[in-house]
Amino acid sequence: MRTVLISGANRGLGLATAKLLGRQGFRVWLGSRSDVAGATATSELRREGSNVTAVQLDVTDENSVVAAARHITAETGLDILINNAAIMDEGYAPVGPASPAGHASIEAMRRTYEVNVLGAVRLTQAMLPCLLRSEHAAIVYVSSRLGSFAHQTDPNWPGRAVNKLAYASSKAALNMIAVMFSYQLRHTGIRVNAVSPGIIATDLNGEGAANLHGRSGFAPPEEGAKLVVECALIPKDGPNGQFFGPGGTLGW
């Protein structure tokens, strides 16, 4: 039975991804900062028949990451790591589309980078020895088109108006992390790719509840999870060091 660890998996896109992989017979490690939230999510998936176990995982806490890595390595090993944990914290009230970068809080950027960037590196490094023992390993970084230079420099792309400096720049950094790890691991058989799940209604962007009431333009987490799972299940001889999203390969 193949195993997967998903960070930030107690709700939203992470939980939806855990559900899909659980239904496909994976042994799921559900990473959650909160033991209570992790237990609640795990109970939900187990009622569906999934083989899932919650693991306390705060990607900003070295001790938490090391403890989770040791536990998973000893219990089951690991085949797939999905770096999903993320925050969106700009640290300022909206001031209009023209100048939000000039109002971004340095402290908010630091918090965002600690989770979205350093947390992903911390977790990848901790789990890498375990992944290298797998015959069919993969690492997935859940990114965003907001972090794509190709999209952000396209004057016709509507997403340019979003203007979230901390979040967008953190995802651009995450994309480079995916590229660097894919190069380092290119001869190991581990596929390393990034994926943008699309415009998904989650608590991350404050649209989770809104979507339930029919707000248009935001897809349910299950739709984004399909893309994440497709990326996680790329065959051993498949693409490596690529950025995927709705419609196929995206420009970095």
pLDDT at 126: 98
Q: Is residue 98's pLDDT more than 90? A: no
pLDDT at 92: 65
* Average pLDDT score over residue span 21-33: 98
Q: How many angstroms separate the CA atoms of 142 and 221, rounded?
A: 13
Residues 6+ apart with CB under 8 A from 48: 19, 22, 23
Cβ atoms of 53 and 68 within 8 Å: the answer is no
Contacts 24+ apart (CB under 8 A), 119-122: 119/7, 119/59, 119/60, 119/83, 119/85, 120/59, 120/83, 120/85, 120/174, 120/177, 121/177, 122/59, 122/60, 122/62, 122/65
Q: Is residue 206's pLDDT more than 60? A: no
Q: Is residue 156's pLDDT more than 80? A: yes
Q: What is the mean pLDDT of the chain?
A: 91
Put the strands of the sheet holding 27-32 in their side by side order: 51-56, 27-32, 3-6, 80-83, 138-142, 191-195, 243-245, 248-249
Q: Is residue 210's pLDDT more than 50? A: no
- In the chain, DSSP finds a helix count (H) and a strand count (E) of 9, 8
pLDDT at 209: 42
* Average pLDDT score over residue span 6-23: 97
Range of the domain at 119: 3-249
Q: Is residue 117's pLDDT more than 70? A: yes
Q: What does the H/E/C string look like for 59-89?
A: CCCHHHHHHHHHHHHHHCCCCEEEECCCCCC
Residues 6+ apart with CB under 8 A from 210: 201, 218
Q: Taking the C-alpha atoms of 58, 60, 61 and 62 in order, what is their torsion angle to the nearest 10 degrees?
A: 120
Cβ atoms of 9 and 17 within 8 Å: the answer is yes
Q: What is the CATH number of the domain that holds 118?
A: 3.40.50.720
Tally of domains in the chain: 1
Whole-structure pTM value: 0.92
